[in-house]
């Protein structure tokens, strides 16, 4: 069985890899016309990378802020699915759930949902979520202040940090036939809807399809 120390070390590793990418968001946001304060508030209050990048991307292209906000909400709504999967793992009181909801993101869910015990699920979830929150906001502020002075953040390879970290978390889940099928169905639905739906919808519907398949294909349900 994995030790508590190993869970914490792995969680901090994910936190460092993902949190550093906040530099990129900060620089892109200020170069898109948002102020340093606005940029920092987005990271502090929204705290979901895909939604934040979607919002500033629309602003940068001259889009309506309302459109950017709606797209960000659509992308962020995937966290609803994460919350459903984490609730029985963490076993929190209503007040604790309210305080914890802000840390329900891709990485914290992935580090908590696979743990065999409630203690390790909490360790993986909180150490990952809180470390990313702290580092993401600090690096956002650094990137926002530096602005165009650091050039294109992709030059430093930071654009690959989030994708690489998440792929590393996803890979062990593909060990079973069920995991591979669920992932394949979700990816196929999302990719197929890209040319047919508005931004954000493929992720939501693909994730919904994967969650539905996972719920239907539970142990003992064959009967």
The whole domain housing 218 covers: 176-222
Higher per-residue confidence, 178 vs 104: 104
Q: How confident is the model at residue 168 (pLDDT cuts 50, 70, 90)?
A: low
Q: Residues 183, 170: one domain?
A: no
Same domain for 194 and 110: no
Residues 126-152 have a mean pLDDT of: 86
Pair (211, 121) in one structural domain: no
79 and 96 inside one domain: yes
Are residues 70 and 43 part of one domain? yes
What pLDDT, on a 0 to 100 scale, did the predictor assign at position 43? 95
pLDDT at 167 over 70: no
∠ Cα 78 84 87 (to 5°): 135
Q: Give dist(CA 204, CA 94) in Å, integer.
A: 26
Quick check: 158 pLDDT over 80? no
Over range 117-143, report the average pLDDT: 94
State whether 123 and 47 are in the same domain.
Answer: yes
Same-domain check for residues 197 and 110: no
Tokens of 99: 């305080």
28 with 67, same domain: the answer is yes
52 lies in the same domain as 10: yes
CA atoms within 13 A on the CB side of 83: 16
> Which residues, in sequence order, are CB contacts of 173 under 8 Å at separation 6+?
114, 179, 183
18 and 56 in a common domain: yes
Same domain for 155 and 185? no
Number of domains in the chain: 2
At residue 147, the pLDDT reads 72
Instruction: Calculate what percentage of the chain has a pLDDT beyond 90.
Output: 30
**With the CA atoms of 146, 152, 158 and 163 taken in that order, what torsion angle do they form, in degrees rounded to the nearest 10?**
130
Tokens at 112, concatenated: 């908590």
CA 112/CA 127 separation, integer angstroms: 10
Same structural domain for residues 168 and 191? no
Confidence of residue 37 (pLDDT cuts 50, 70, 90): very high
Torsion, Cα 92 73 213 192, to 10 degrees, reads: -160
Residue 122 pLDDT greater than 90, yes or no: yes
């Amino acid at each position: 069985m994995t030790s508590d120390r190993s869970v914490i070390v792995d969680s901090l590793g994910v936190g460092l890899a993902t949190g550093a990418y906040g530099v990129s968001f900060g620089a892109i946001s200020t170069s898109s016309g948002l102020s340093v304060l606005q940029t920092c508030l987005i990271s502090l209050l929204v705290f979901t990378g895909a939604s934040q990048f979607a919002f500033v991307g629309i602003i940068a292209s001259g889009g309506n802020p309302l459109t950017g906000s709606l797209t960000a909400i659509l992308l962020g709504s995937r966290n609803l699915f994460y919350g459903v999967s984490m609730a029985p793992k963490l076993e929190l009181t209503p007040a604790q759930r309210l305080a914890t909801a802000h840390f329900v993101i891709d990485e914290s869910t992935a580090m908590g949902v696979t743990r065999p015990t409630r203690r390790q699920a909490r360790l993986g979830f909180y150490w990952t979520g809180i470390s990313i929150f702290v580092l993401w906001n600090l690096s956002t502020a650094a990137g926002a202040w530096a602005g165009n002075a650091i050039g294109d953040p992709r030059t430093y390879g930071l654009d690959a940090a989030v994708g690489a970290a998440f792929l590393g978390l996803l890979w062990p889940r593909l060990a079973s036939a069920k995991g591979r099928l669920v992932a394949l169905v979700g990816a196929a639905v999302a990719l197929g809807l890209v040319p047919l739906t508005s931004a954000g919808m493929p992720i939501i519907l693909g994730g919904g399809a994967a969650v539905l398949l996972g719920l239907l294909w539970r142990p003992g349900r064959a009967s």
